[in-house]
A = this chain, B = another copy of it.
Amino acid sequence: MKNKKSKTGFLVLAVLLCLGIVWVCTITGAASVSISDANRILLNKLFHLNVSLEEISKGNITIIWNIRFPRIILGFITGAALAVSGAGYQGIFKNPMADPFVLGISSGAALGAAVGIVCHFTFRIGVFNSTMLLAFAGSFATLFLVYSISRVGRRVPVATLLLSGVAINSTLSALMSFIMMMNKQSMDQIMFWTMGTLNGKGWNQIAAVLPWVLIGLVIMLLSCRELDVMLTGEETATQLGVNIELVKRKVLFASSLLTASVISVTGIIGFVGLVVPHVVRLLTGPKHRRLLPVSMVFGGAFMVICDTAARSLTTSEIPVGIITSICGGPFFLYLLRKSKKGGGVV
């Protein structure tokens, strides 16, 4: 009973909070669009209300509706996806250092993107351009490589998976660096790709990632209970009716899908996927049924706020990863110190 009430309460609160954040962030930005203008554009475009936009300059409409608003939505999606993905990996590996990139997904993506950038491919499929496609392909190729290397018969021991991931990660990063080295012209471009940003991303990118992110999130949220049981040990989980290999595959796939789809669009954004689940775990405890949804909301909101800072604080963009780390790091440390347990979690 109590449980259910608090759940609904949480849901309502979370949705309201998110809407609030999205609205505040939409009216904030480097370009000065007045609040009333911003509101009118939102009302017109979002709810198809009969609000006249005639007095508002075309530039401002573009800024709010084609740049700022989709960027905020994409930021939320990105933050949510990365945080849930990180929580998933941390659960499967039972390792506090696991992040969405632990299996080499990111270096695979970066390598793919680097190949795309160096070869100046220009093909595109629907909303995907070549770099995005190659990054996505790189991620998944890496995942399958790591998975098949770690496979022992029908089992995939997580310890091996983790070590393989670590090794593949180094190797692919090195290959990418090598490509960068050999192609000075593309070097900066590759480097900027790896320093993820939401700058310049819009509705197209949302369309490109949303389906995958939704699939990933649904799979993850449906695996909560099994993840909880897995935390108590693989043997016990088997005895409690969990098909552990299936769960591993499922969660790895979903987490990787979340990460790969998001980073192939935004480039590599660190920190969120690593630290948000820890922050949330300090608040909710280890149960995934609470950890995952709260991480999702928290990750998304955190990302939106940081990205707003990234695009508004100075005239130039500050890479959002820098903001997340500079603000989030000390906050996490503060929580860590405050929690009496001393963070003996995951």
A30, CB-defined interface residue at 8 Å: no
The complex is assembled from copies of this chain, and their number is 2
**Chain A contacts with B in 251-283, Cβ cutoff 8 A:** 270-271, 274-275, 278
Chain B residues, CB < 8 A from A344: 157, 159-160
A175, CB-defined interface residue at 8 Å: yes
CA distance A318 to B178 in the complex (A): 8
A149, CB-defined interface residue at 8 Å: yes
A152: nearest residue on chain B (CB-CB)? B342
Q: Is the CB of A163 within 8 A of B336?
A: yes
Chain B residues, CB < 8 A from A337: 149
CA distance A307 to B91 in the complex (A): 38
CA distance A159 to B345 in the complex (A): 7
CA distance A177 to B318 in the complex (A): 10
A158: nearest residue on chain B (CB-CB)? B344
**Chain A contacts with B in 316-344, Cβ cutoff 8 A:** 316, 318-319, 321-326, 328-330, 332-333, 336-337, 342-344
Q: Is the CB of B96 within 8 A of A163?
A: yes
Question: Closest CB-CB distance, A86 to chain B, in whole Å?
Answer: 12
Q: Is the CB of B342 within 8 A of A175?
A: no
Contact residue among B95, B270, B319 (Cβ-Cβ distance under 8 Å from A170)? B270
Known contacts A95-B97, A170-B270; decide if A149 and B336 are in contact (CB<8 Å). Answer: yes
Contact with B along A64-102 (1 / 0, CB 8 A): 000000000000000000000000000000011110001
CA distance A190 to B58 in the complex (A): 42
Chain B residues, CB < 8 A from A321: 174, 177
A33, CB-defined interface residue at 8 Å: no
A31, CB-defined interface residue at 8 Å: no
Q: Is the CB of B173 within 8 A of A325?
A: yes
Known contacts A157-B344, A168-B329; decide if A322 and B174 are in contact (CB<8 Å). Answer: yes
Question: Closest CB-CB distance, A267 to chain B, in whole Å?
Answer: 14
A270: nearest residue on chain B (CB-CB)? B170
Contact with B along A165-203 (1 / 0, CB 8 A): 011101101110110010000000000000100000000
Q: Is the CB of B275 within 8 A of A167?
A: yes
CA distance A97 to B98 in the complex (A): 8
A148: nearest residue on chain B (CB-CB)? B337
Question: Closest CB-CB distance, A245 to chain B, in whole Å?
Answer: 14
Question: Closest CB-CB distance, A105 to chain B, in whole Å?
Answer: 15
Closest 9 CB pairs of A and B: A171-B329, A174-B325, A170-B325, A97-B97, A174-B322, A160-B343, A157-B342, A167-B329, A159-B344
Q: Return 10 A-B CB contacts under 8 Å, by A number.
A: A95-B95, A97-B97, A149-B336, A149-B337, A150-B336, A160-B344, A163-B278, A170-B325, A171-B330, A174-B329
